[in-house]
């Protein structure tokens, strides 16, 4: 049972629009709240512009995690990882979706609408949202990621 304190941030470019819509239906069935940052109609748009407001909502505490979609999932994950405080992963298997939360404390799951079908996409979302960060030895590594991020910010 998915238990989140805050809504999920959702965003997609045109290549991920159909998968985003399928995931929204799935979240509705589960009773999981979300904030859709677009695209709202599937018209051609740029994934960096779609990722930024959703990632900002996670970083500022408005949303718990982000679910992001583009054609491959790769471009939007690259854009998401440029946002300080975001740890985005592009996944197309449930093991990775689960363990990136458990071990890397990922806060954004990215998927490709041209790579992942609706059924698998919903399974990835379930694996991601149901997993919890294990901390302990993994926290040290997440702290190292933050140190890299902080060092780059000061350049």
Active site residue ranges:
70, 103
The C-alpha atoms of residue 137 and residue 149 are separated, in whole angstroms, by: 20
What element of type H or E holds 108?
A: strand 108-112
Are 122 and 26 in contact by the 8 Å Cβ rule? The answer is: yes
First to last CA, the chain: 43
Are 140 and 44 in contact by the 8 Å Cβ rule? The answer is: no
Q: Which residues pair with 89 in a beta bridge?
A: 109
């Amino acid at each position: 049972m998915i238990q989140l304190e805050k809504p999920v941030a959702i965003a997609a470019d045109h290549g991920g629009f159909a998968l985003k819509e399928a995931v929204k239906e799935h979240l509705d069935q589960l009773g999981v709240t979300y904030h859709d940052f677009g695209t709202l109609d599937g018209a051609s748009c740029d994934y960096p512009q779609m990722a930024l407001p959703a990632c900002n909502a996670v970083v500022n505490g408005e949303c718990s995690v982000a679910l992001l979609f583009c054609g491959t999932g790769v471009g939007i994950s690259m854009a998401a990882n440029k946002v300080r405080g975001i740890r985005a992963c592009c996944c197309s298997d449930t093991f990775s979706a689960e363990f990136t939360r458990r071990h890397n404390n990922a806060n954004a799951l990215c998927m490709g609408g041209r790579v992942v079908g609706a059924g698998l996409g919903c399974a990835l979302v379930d694996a991601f949202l149901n997993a919890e960060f294990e901390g302990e030895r993994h926290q040290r590594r997440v702290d190292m990621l933050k140190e890299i991020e902080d060092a780059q910010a000061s350049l």
